[in-house]
Amino acid sequence: QVQLVESGGGLVQPGGSLRLSCAASGFTLDDHAIGWFRQAPGKEREGVSCISRIDGSTYYADSVKGRFTISRDNAKNTVYLQMNSLKPEDTAVYYCATTSGLCKWSLEGYDYWGQGTQVTVSP
């Protein structure tokens, strides 16, 4: 059974850091691209970052470039999202998702999604 489980969310002050984890089971993570998405209240879900399956290339939304870093640990079948210099506008539920295709910002084509983890950035 394919499953993705996010963890690491929480409440942090502006300028702080969090590291999100996306633990995969039921499939080999390095055969898939993994994307991180987020959804703030009243807003559509948007792509944040992605790591490709082919060569490990990484991609970032302009809003997080230079602050967030995506990485994978194949031995642990886990993808991480290191989030630094957090801003209140980063507040959202963060989801990871997997696709056997290429990294993309569109939600379509991602086969499996985790349940999400809440990130709140507030003084």
Torsion sign, CA atoms 34, 38, 39, 43: negative
For residue 6, pLDDT beyond 80: yes
| Residues contacting residue 86 through CB under 8 Å, at least 6 positions apart | 12, 14, 15, 16, 17, 18, 67, 119, 121
- Note the pLDDT of residue 39: 98
From CA 50, how far away is CA 59, in angstroms rounded? 5
For residue 52, pLDDT beyond 90: yes
- Note the pLDDT of residue 29: 81
The bridge status of strand 10-12 relative to strand 117-121 is parallel
* pLDDT level of residue 19 (50, 70, 90 thresholds): very high
- Note the pLDDT of residue 54: 78
From CA 83, how far away is CA 100, in angstroms rounded? 25
From CA 11, how far away is CA 123, in angstroms rounded? 9
Nearest to 101 by CA among 113, 90, 110, 91: 110
| Chain segment 67-114, per-residue pLDDT in tens | 999 999 989 999 999 999 999 999 999 999 999 889 998 888 899 999
